[in-house]
């Protein structure tokens, strides 16, 4: 009887541990707030050749250099593939953002940022970082649109803490 009680207790502990581990597992993309050791881009993410600074694609707030003009179309066809690969290799692309992807506000400086799957994304405030984390895909697509118009989030968010 005592052996059965110990076995049931052990089983309960194992199941509890498994549930705890599974609860910590999330399918959300990882957003890094503390960048790992990053290096500047020197290799074309598409073909792997040495970059030529005259060939580049501006996409999702990043300037991605290529080895030749043909690589641009491949990058545009599947940007996530190449950004994720660059993130795994610790490559940092040149950030060319001028506006916050959430609010549409002009970025005076780029001191508030996160690294997201190979992209360094700058924001106007911490509120916008939180909104981005809730739906990165939505805001990444906005980064390729014309950011001169005020976004819906800018109209609805309380930005009283902005200057």
pLDDT at 154: 40
Report yes or no on whether pTM surpasses 0.85: no
pLDDT at 79: 95
pLDDT at 28: 44
Q: Show the DSSP H helices in 25-160 as ranges.
A: 71-77, 79-89, 126-134, 136-143, 152-156
Enumerate the domain spans of the chain.
31-156
Residues of the chain scoring pLDDT < 70: 1-36, 146-163
pLDDT at 11: 47
Closest by CA position to 94, among listed 142, 129, 49, 42: 42
């Amino acid at each position: 009887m005592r052996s059965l009680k110990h076995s049931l207790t052990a089983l309960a502990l194992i199941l509890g541990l498994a549930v705890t581990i599974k609860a910590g597992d999330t399918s959300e993309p990882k957003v890094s707030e503390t960048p790992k050791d990053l290096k500047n881009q020197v290799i074309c993410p598409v073909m792997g050749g040495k970059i030529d600074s005259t060939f580049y694609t501006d996409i999702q707030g990043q300037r991605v250099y290529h080895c030749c003009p043909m690589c641009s179309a491949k990058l545009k066809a599947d940007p996530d593939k190449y950004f994720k690969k660059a993130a795994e290799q610790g490559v940092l692309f040149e950030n060319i953002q001028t506006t916050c992807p959430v609010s549409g506000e002009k970025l005076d400086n780029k001191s508030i940022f996160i690294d997201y799957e190979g992209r360094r994304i700058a924001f106007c405030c911490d509120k916008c970082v939180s909104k981005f984390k809730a739906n990165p895909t939505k805001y990444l697509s906005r980064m390729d649109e014309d950011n001169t118009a005020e976004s819906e989030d800018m109209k609805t968010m309380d930005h009283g803490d902005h200057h």
